[in-house]
Structure 1
Amino acid sequence: MMRRLLSTTLAITTGCLLATGAVAQSDEDQIDYRQAVFTLVGANFGPMGDMAQGEIDYDAEQFARNAARVADLSRMAKEGFEGGPHDGDTDAKPAIWDEWDRFSEGMTHFETAAQELAEATEGGDRELADVQDRFMRVAESCQSCHDNYRDN
């Protein structure tokens, strides 16, 4: 069931991504797009965090698969903020657009950290201890953005 939900959400997100390049999106479309991307980031990063904290058994193949997905999604995340601020149901703070260069730098850090984690886990045969530091870099980049640019 979860796999089907993730597949469906990924298909919707991909459709939104393709549409973003074709036509200007409304504020709600931009908000929906970025929320879909971050929902998928959370759905993939959450189990990795549970493994890193020992709450569930470490599965190197699942960890690698999820890391690759987060890396892919990290390249899409900033698009949902472009052209803002966007009016609608969002927890995004206006500081994103007031501090666009700093925000963009943080998003680049997230993308780089996610890519490095995906590369470190590629093949699905690494021990958690071997990738823990890279995992923490991604987690820290997420937390920094949430602390500075997200209400709640």
Structure 2
Amino acid sequence: MRRLMTTTLALATGCLLAGTTMAQSDEEQIEYRQAVLTVIGGNFGPMGDMAQGEIDYDAERFARNAQRVADLSRMGLEGFEGGPHSGDTDAKTAIWDEWEEFEQGMADFEAAARELAEATEGGEQDLSDIQGPFMQVAESCQACHDNYRDN
């Protein structure tokens, strides 16, 4: 619970700093995107645990988290605009060298997250019914991490 509150606070801070991305310092851009991606991970992680049978499946929680991931997916790209940014970051410079591909990957992630949220709407689905959309989101995350994250 403490981690969720810390992460939520970090995201809120990032949002306040967001204003206009063009006026942000490198540090603010990095903090913003890290906050958004941390909250995405904080919501996606339990869904992965449910999908892998590590924790009990809770359809309502899964749906709530899926909706949060979909909402946040629209914010991720903003934190990378105007880069590369100097500072404490695992982002590879390949993001900006291959901006159009990266941008398309983020759009694919957003579309997959939206499809997952729609598939889970109402929180009454069996886990087997949403495995496909869940895996699409997971694969889009993994592809970005493999190509554009330095760890």
Q: How many percent identity over aligned positions?
A: 69
CA deviations on 1:30-67 (whole Å, 9 max, x unpaired) are 00000000100110000000000000000000000000
In 1: Cα distance, 2:30 partner to 2:9 partner:
19
**Could you tell me which residue of structure 1 aligns to residue 143 of structure 2?**
144
State yes or no: 1:111 paired with 2:110: yes
* Superposition map of 1:1-152 within 5 A: 1-2=1-2, 3-17=4-18, 19-20=19-20, 24-152=23-151
Cα separation, partners in 2 of 1:32 and 1:108, compared to 1, 3 Å? same
Q: List alignment gaps of at least 5 residues for structure 2.
A: none
TM-score by length of 1: 0.93
**Residue 15 (structure 1) shift:** 2.0
Aligned-residue RMSD, C-alpha: 1.4
Distance 2:27 2:14 in 1: 14
Cα deviation digits, residues 90-132 of structure 1 (max 9, x gap): 1100110000000000000000000000011011111111111
Structure 2 residue identity aligned to 1:11 = A
User: Unpaired runs of 5+ in structure 1?
Assistant: none
Runs of 4+ in 1 over 4 A off after TM superposition: none
Q: How many residues align?
A: 150
Structure 1 residues 35 and 6: CA distance shift in structure 2, 3 A:
closer
User: 1:47, 1:54 → 2: CA distance?
Assistant: 10
Please state whether the residue corresponding to 1:57 is helix, strand or coil. Answer: coil
Letter in structure 2 aligned against 1:98: D
Q: Partners in 2 of 1:113 and 1:8 — Cα distance?
A: 26
- Which one-letter code corresponds to 1:33 in the other structure? Y
